[in-house]
């Protein structure tokens, strides 16, 4: 059965093209949304919309996403930066823009396709199903950084159990709008589907428990660089939690507005990076710690802020 998404246009998105707004709101590629629009699958009040239509605040758009066709996982020669490897797992440094596994609008060009070019499907865990060989967790498309991949079923089951027991330390770096007042803080707020925008997440009373810890790393004028501990792992958790306290992640197309959505000069993507993973090896004998330095494009943004403001580093 096709999936039907109903999306209300917020005031902050008024004036955008329909294809761009729907792609950002639904988390789909723009080219895929354009194909759906060409098939007449995007409507407002029952009338099909063009890709170039300008959306108005308060309008409700309905998008029909057809059921995914069977995935034919094909190896693709996509470069992967492996920062750690043993007989049980790989830890890769995923670039921004790379989708973790095939999904509607992303049938190829994913991390899974890259993994299959490295080894045949039999070389990865199958616990999560054929479409997700070795996958135990994911990062949003626009988030960069560390991601674990299991090499066989026992390792995949072990890593999934660690994640469920919250025994994998996951630390992120994020540039957020405004000056965060507390040097150290903890956000505890349940997350679930946004009742007004079903393609987004929000802090809602009936949501699942979610906890994010943070520490100020550096103050940079109108922006703050945070180090974050992802204690639970809800969809879009860091982005939703930070937006809920008035400090959205710079460059966030879903949860930020205005200046924070545009980000500081030179920013072309979401400023969120998974920089450190820490876990105990499957044999219990080693502590595995992997780190991925901030990508050059994000480092350049920080450099620009440091040169134009009296940034104060906090260690």
Q: Give the whole-angstrom CA distance, residue 309 versus residue 44.
A: 45
Phi and psi (nearest 5°) for 61? -105, 140
Q: Which fold has domain 3-65?
A: 3.10.290
Q: Quick one: pLDDT at residue 191?
A: 95
The pLDDT tens digits along the chain (315 residues) read 667 888 888 887 889 999 988 887 776 777 778 989 999 999 999 999 999 999 999 999 999 988 655 445 589 999 999 999 999 999 999 999 999 887 666 668 899 999 999 988 888 998 877 778 899 999 999 999 999 999 999 999 999 999 989 999 999 999 999 999 999 999 999 999 888 877 789 999 989 999 999 999 999 999 999 999 999 999 999 999 999 999 999 999 999 999 999 999 999 999 999 999 999 999 999 999 999 999 999 999 999 999 987 555 554
* Spatial CA neighbour of 88 closest among 166, 160, 146, 138: 160
Q: Give the whole-angstrom CA distance, residue 256 versus residue 246.
A: 9
Q: Give the whole-angstrom CA distance, residue 271 versus residue 248.
A: 10
pTM (two decimals): 0.78
The CATH architecture that domain 82-164 belongs to is: 2-Layer Sandwich (3.30)
Q: Tokens representing 277? A: 């993973």
Q: Residue 217: which residues within 8 A CB-CB, separation 6 or more?
A: 173, 225, 226, 227, 313, 314, 315
The helix (run of H) or strand (run of E) holding residue 156 is helix 153-164
Query: What Å distances lie between residue 230 and 166, 172, 248, 289, CA to CA?
Result: 9, 8, 16, 16
Q: Which CATH superfamily groups domain 169-279+287-313?
A: Pseudouridine synthase (3.30.2350.10)
Do the domains 3-65 and 169-279+287-313 sit in the same CATH topology, yes or no? no
Query: What Å distances lie between residue 172 and 178, 214, 225, 258, 315, CA to CA?
Result: 18, 9, 10, 24, 16
Burial of 190 (0-12, 13-18, 19+ CB in 10 A): middle
Q: Give the whole-angstrom CA distance, residue 9 versus residue 21.
A: 8
62 is catalytic: no
For every residue of 170-183, DSSP letters joined together read EEEEEEEES--S-S
| All structural domains of the chain with their residue ranges | 3-65, 82-164, 169-279+287-313
Q: Quick one: pLDDT at residue 93?
A: 98
- Please pick, among 19, 24, 93, 140, the residue that the annotation labels catalytic: 140
């Amino acid at each position: 059965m096709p999936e039907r998404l109903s999306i209300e246009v917020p005031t902050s998105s008024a004036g955008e093209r329909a294809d761009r707004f729907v792609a950002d709101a639904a988390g789909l590629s723009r080219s895929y949304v354009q194909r759906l629009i060409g098939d007449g699958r995007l409507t407002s009040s029952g009338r099909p919309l063009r890709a170039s239509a300008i959306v108005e605040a308060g309008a409700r758009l309905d998008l029909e996403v057809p059921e995914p066709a069977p995935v034919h996982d094909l190896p693709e020669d996509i470069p992967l930066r492996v920062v750690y490897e043993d007989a049980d797992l790989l830890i890769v440094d995923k670039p921004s823009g790379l989708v973790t596994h095939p999904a509607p609008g992303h049938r190829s060009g994913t991390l899974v396709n890259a993994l299959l070019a490295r080894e045949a499907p039999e070389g990865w865990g199958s616990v999560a199903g054929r479409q997700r060989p070795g996958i135990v967790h994911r990062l949003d498309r626009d988030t960069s950084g560390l991601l674990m991949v299991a090499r066989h079923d026992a390792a995949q089951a072990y890593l999934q159990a660690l994640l469920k027991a919250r025994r994998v330390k996951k630390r992120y770096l994020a540039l957020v709008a405004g000056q965060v007042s507390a040097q150290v803080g903890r956000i505890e707020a349940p997350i679930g589907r946004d009742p007004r925008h079903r393609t987004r997440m929000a802090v809602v009373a009936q949501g699942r428990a979610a906890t994010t810890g943070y520490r100020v790393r550096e103050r940079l004028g109108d922006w703050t660089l945070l180090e974050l501990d992802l204690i639970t792992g809800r969809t879009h958790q860091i982005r939703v939690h930070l937006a809920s306290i008035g400090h959205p992640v710079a460059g966030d197309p879903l949860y930020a507005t205005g200046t924070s959505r545009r980000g500081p000069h030179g920013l072309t993507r979401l400023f969120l990076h998974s920089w450190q993973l820490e876990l105990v090896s499957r044999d219990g004998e080693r502590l595995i710690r992997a780190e991925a330095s901030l990508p050059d494009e994000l480092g350049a943004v920080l450099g620009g802020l440091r040169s134009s403001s009296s940034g104060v580093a906090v260690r």
